[in-house]
Structure 1
């Protein structure tokens, strides 16, 4: 059979080119439109969380662009529509479809939720992403939230954080007794066992509380974001390492009913934009923390300290005892705790002979 060139273009290679170039998202007058609202746990202007690469506002722009305008998300930072920590109830009730924050804020609803933000002496970014994307972590997250009518996705990560800011230097493990400290998540339970008076405050309230002496110490994230809050103007003793949060996952909380109403192509858009922000935000933190740390120590009178000898081993001991005790009270927490540390053990066996060897070299 003989084909003319114009017939081949119409039915052969030309058709394949046309198919390859076809948009992945349905468009046109008949394409269903979605206009959602998303609240946030952090104030307007907060880098990493509310503005900048990989933030909530960046995510909303990416979803609109990737969907060809079929899905638009209006973002409301903390306090504009609901209080900073009101996102869980707002999404659950259907007042909004999404919230941008951290799962450890919902520990009062489910102890297990905290494992999907940060675990003291737990997994770093590489390991936790491996767990969530390929090790069953996402399925467990869905299971924990199912009874609340919610779904969540990872949308960011700060990486390793700092122990925090202290008005007075720490001398030993006994220095924590009686300390009033802003801390959230599983580590708050650990600190409580050491006599710390724990305060759970949203980001925007940390500096005034520390400055006025309402609290004696506070942790937030790391050099860049801590400097943005001005914490160096309220305390000058900056401690490392972030034993309490070797990784910190930002959470996109979604109303499950609204999620199920999305067509598959828009679900894919949301998932892929969330995954992009997860990676981009982590890169942003790493790109900015070094400069900020140098500025804090060279220009702003901040002293960086290692935790005193004996503190980390004691913190780890209390951490493991606390997690075991809490898991014994709740079968869901027990299931997540076992899955988390089983995966960590497997993942660590590889990192111990690869990343760790190189990073520990004294070059």
Structure 2
């Protein structure tokens, strides 16, 4: 039976209310048992409390929870991870950051870009407008070109240890009206992250709005925004975006997003807690983060493919920016890159690693002519 948009929206609202109730129940249950650890575990080794920014009940948190629960066995009982969903210990991002620094939590699993106000270099520790757009490129920069070591130096100044990046997905835009080129963005009011992303979109006539993820659906439903960026198709479908928008914007073929194509998460831990581990256990944790990163990414990609079929069944239409749009977007983005790179020496050092890589012929995204006059 084919439902019309009104029927589908009503059903989605009901399903969404049930989904939110399920999340609330799961979060309450987790919070209620959060501080209870088995005597055997406490006697055997350390237990770290680690909060993710994924909400309870989502595919992201389910994977994170499963991974955490396997750490005790992998370390021979010397270290266990006690997972927490978003907002269950620290109520917001600022509190999450401070809780890990102070040791209330021993670790966090955030989107790295969250710390642009606290760590300017972090805007270059996850993808940014028209920058490196393939997951393998980011793994190459972190693990082969020295970016991981530099990142750890930066975090160490704040009493934190950056264990490693966790591949997540691209961010995409859902809109009420079709967007077939950059010119179509002019005059639109779009929910976007702040910082570099907002600054680049503003150059194309966009009015940018910053909203937490939980506020996007009602804003689209009420029409207070015309479009919204959020994560990838799998999670966005769960949040009901197909019921309040009709269009999805991707980049050119092979690129889901031109503005945040590789939206990285990470595992960051309290430095004092990290230093209490033996080198053997530290290495196990580092290796497990790399393994989890791959599994996390691949699982979400599978869910994305399934979700796109659901979006299309609901009537959503996909449009793509052209390669010419990509060139225009990168031209607008480059001065913004330099603006953020010049905020402090750490940001500049991270950006220098990436710029050299993008200018290397194996990548070829940037030419000397593109950055002529930039300092």
Which among 55, 80, 84 is matched to residue 43 of structure 1? 55
Residues 102-128 of structure 1 show CA distances to partners (whole Å, capped at 9, x for unaligned) of 111111112211211212222211111
CA apart distance, 1:156: 2.5
In the alignment, which residue of structure 1 is the partner of 2:349?
335
In the alignment, which residue of structure 2 is the partner of 1:79?
87
1:60 aligns with 2:68: yes
1:183 aligns with 2:197: no
CA apart distance, 1:266: 1.8
**SS of aligned partner of 1:253:** strand
**SS of aligned partner of 2:346:** helix
Q: TM-score, normalised by structure 2?
A: 0.77
**Could you say which structure has the larger radius of gyration?**
1
For the 8 Å contact 1:176–1:194, the answer to whether it is kept is yes
Distance 1:250 1:286 in 2: 15
Task: Provide structure 2 residue ranges, at least 5 long, that are not aligned to the other structure.
Answer: 1-39, 252-256, 366-375
Quickly say closer, same or farther: Cα 1:290–1:305, change in 2 above 3 A: same
Quickly say closer, same or farther: Cα 1:120–1:96, change in 2 above 3 A: same
**SS of aligned partner of 1:43:** coil
Distance 1:347 1:102 in 2: 30
Alignment of 1:2-151 (within 5 A): 33-48=45-60, 50-52=61-63, 56-85=64-93, 86-123=95-132, 124-151=134-161
Which among 218, 221, 240 is matched to residue 231 of structure 2? 221
Q: TM-score, normalised by structure 1?
A: 0.80
For the 8 Å contact 2:65–2:83, the answer to whether it is kept is yes
Quickly say closer, same or farther: Cα 1:77–1:214, change in 2 above 3 A: farther
Distance 1:221 1:240 in 2: 12
CA apart distance, 1:31: 8.2
In the alignment, which residue of structure 1 is the partner of 2:373?
none
Distance 1:225 1:130 in 2: 27
Task: Provide structure 1 residue ranges, at least 5 long, that are not aligned to the other structure.
Answer: 1-27, 352-363
Distance 1:79 1:173 in 2: 36
Quickly say closer, same or farther: Cα 1:89–1:270, change in 2 above 3 A: same
For the 8 Å contact 2:126–2:262, the answer to whether it is kept is yes
